[in-house]
Structure 1
């Protein structure tokens, strides 16, 4: 029978990048515009700040995620190349190494020997990658996927406070940016927690708190250092 059980760990790779991107997009763009609003800038300057923050932030997230995950992928590739070399030159030693891993995990020596033998006959590199290096299809590094996911979700998140500025009257702009952005952050935090199997309320409160703190501090900076020409 086909194994149908699915675990939340399957979501970990793309979920981390998606949540980080959307969360950063909302917080950084809303905070930037709150600082400009507090500085009594013109509406056109506020919109320009939001657009610039969206574009720059999306590219920064993409570049940062790609470089970071690419480094992980390079490390995995180097370790796999080493394993290939060892399998080609010392099969017996690699068998003993795998056997010792299974013994340490609780198998009897004879059973560990047989398990290591059969797994190496089936897929030696896959067995060592999984059980010695901890590299699996679930957690293997995917730089391009992480970069594109982060950029797209950052832009989506950043568009929320930007849309508020485009549609809302300037008189109550501060309240509108804060309320809509916090609502989006709380919903995002709760959704991410639910998908990941964590407490929804705690996840929502955590994201909402840091979002509110970021917007408050940036607004204070804009108010203190803002200059009206």
Structure 2
């Protein structure tokens, strides 16, 4: 294999993480929230000396409520982003219709700022305006592409599904453990799953593995300690 062939092969084999940003964010956040929210609720109830049945019921209710909350919140948030994107595109379409030469000059200016020679920048702007001016302005002026455009339904479904998936491990741990060990088992399972989720998110997103894993473990442990303390204090007062 020649050097140029090797370069070309490397280029085609490149793995880009930016294309995963939208769904990865929703999925990782949903799973972490599902795992930690459900586990923290169950740990708090278990620390209040509730029996295993009430702990399990708390987990089921927490998963159902959390999944719907995540889906609704994500849908509203991403819908607002999509509305803003559509409004920007409408303004850009209007400008292209009424002021095409000014918009072409604006596009050429963007390319000059990125390092193109002025003559080449003009040629590129001319060519793109002849092909699909709106797409060129959406991409290079507004930063909008098919990769990062807002998709409310996809984000809502991903958030809800991942929340449920994240909430199942502590719930199943409580079902299997039962008795006096339920609090310790839920905490142990949750920490293991948090470490796995942190590592998986780092792997998929191209982030440092150790840093991402330690971060989720730290905040996960803190969350469970706080809810356990609240549950214990409530039991003591009652």
When normalised by structure 1's length, the TM-score is: 0.96
For residues 23-172 of structure 1, the aligned pairs below 5 Å read 23-172=32-181
Q: How far does residue 228 in structure 1 lie from its aligned partner after superposition?
A: 9.3
Deviates more, 1:81-90 or 1:125-134: 81-90
Provide the C-alpha distance between the structure 1 equivalents of 2:229 and 2:52, rounded to a whole number of angstroms. 19
**Per-residue deviation, residues 93-114 of structure 1 (Å, max 9, x unmatched):** 1101101111111111111111
Name the Cα RMSD after superposition.
1.7
Provide the C-alpha distance between the structure 2 equivalents of 1:92 and 1:6, rounded to a whole number of angstroms. 38
Provide the C-alpha distance between the structure 2 equivalents of 1:70 and 1:150, rounded to a whole number of angstroms. 14
Q: How far does residue 227 in structure 1 lie from its aligned partner after superposition?
A: 6.8
Deviates more, 1:15-24 or 1:198-207: 198-207
Provide the C-alpha distance between the structure 1 equivalents of 2:69 and 2:140, rounded to a whole number of angstroms. 35
In structure 2, runs of 5+ residues without a counterpart are 1-7
The answer as to whether partners of 2:43 and 2:224 remain within 8 angstroms in 1 is: yes
The answer as to whether partners of 1:40 and 1:228 remain within 8 angstroms in 2 is: no
Work out the number of aligned pairs and report it. 229
1:216 aligns with 2:207: no
Provide the C-alpha distance between the structure 1 equivalents of 2:139 and 2:235, rounded to a whole number of angstroms. 55
The answer as to whether partners of 1:41 and 1:228 remain within 8 angstroms in 2 is: no
Q: How far does residue 6 in structure 1 lie from its aligned partner after superposition?
A: 3.7
What SS does the corresponding residue of 1:107 show, helix, strand or coil?
A: coil
Runs of 4+ more than 6 Å apart? none
Provide the C-alpha distance between the structure 2 equivalents of 1:183 and 1:16, rounded to a whole number of angstroms. 21
Aligned twin of 1:202: 211
**Per-residue deviation, residues 65-99 of structure 1 (Å, max 9, x unmatched):** 11111111000000001111111111111101101
Q: How far does residue 43 in structure 1 lie from its aligned partner after superposition?
A: 2.0
When normalised by structure 2's length, the TM-score is: 0.92
